[in-house]
Structure 1
């Protein structure tokens, strides 16, 4: 079986997605699936429980929810999965292999976006290139890390946005990230809602502003104002 693995899924009103997200984690061989709910008002919690996930309740905020899930986790490996993403059957095996047989201690997956349009293939390849060139993975790439290193790095910073980027910065002293073939299946819903070019440009602007010193709180206000 190898290293034990806990998959942590943060949710807020994700009743349309949580069942398949949890199922994908079990089918990939998770030892534990935790849904860290931030106060859903729909059927998210009920559906997660029906799929035999461990549900914990946390204050609203992805970083807070992910840290709460990590605290409740029992696995030697922590995998952070967005509710609109799906782990494919080989994902967790790939993690166990790379962590058991190399010096790498964290990483993410290549993506497969659930739309056949060519532009989404380009987008997925661009996201993989970002990990290779900069060492920065986003949350929808299925960030994973050993529990020991996650705790040593103090987990996700309690910020309203950019928590994934800041976690990757905290992990950088522990070496480079692994980029595994996966793939992790990613919903195209946000790109379809916002437009591929518009959403991608917004992500680039947020990342650039962050590295220029703009606070995550300020960036969060901008993000929410333009996420309509």
Structure 2
């Protein structure tokens, strides 16, 4: 396991703040001799540091797939599977699969298919809770479309939540995408929507826990 580069500043700031809290905690202990309070606050500081560090963890994962497989781009839970009108790029009917990422999930995002990156766009927006129906169109978000060698196109969208306030993406139009290659990161609770062609064979269901690069969403 490694730590994501997006976490360097946050982890250092967290260590500094928690270190100052622990120093104040020790000073309070020397004045009051309340061992129970010292231990309680120390345990709380350690738990907070653990939560900050684990948020930016990147586990090593070995995965296998065929060229027609569509891999899950994010860790989390499947909260939406439905046929919808995709209005930003395709402007037609697509199968939407939405994955909610809690603060306890790994928050790196990966290309679900290989191919040519045809479209990349960042949208400023609101910070509604990630499971809100309008978060897909109203929240801060980024949209990426990759065209598979078969000609099929898949759109995936990073969506900021009520806590997440920064979307990071590392791809641009014209780039060649590879299945399982990292394309972005979202800080704290958030969501990823994937829009698949009608007729895609799905391998996931509502409320299923999924893992990036390990779970197959479906196949063409």
TM-score under structure 1 length normalisation: 0.26
Structure with more strand by fraction: 2
Asked which structure has the greater CA Rg, the reply is 2
Greater per-residue helix proportion: 1
Question: Higher RCO, 1 or 2 (CA under 8 Å, sep at least 6)?
Answer: 2
TM-score (norm 2): 0.26
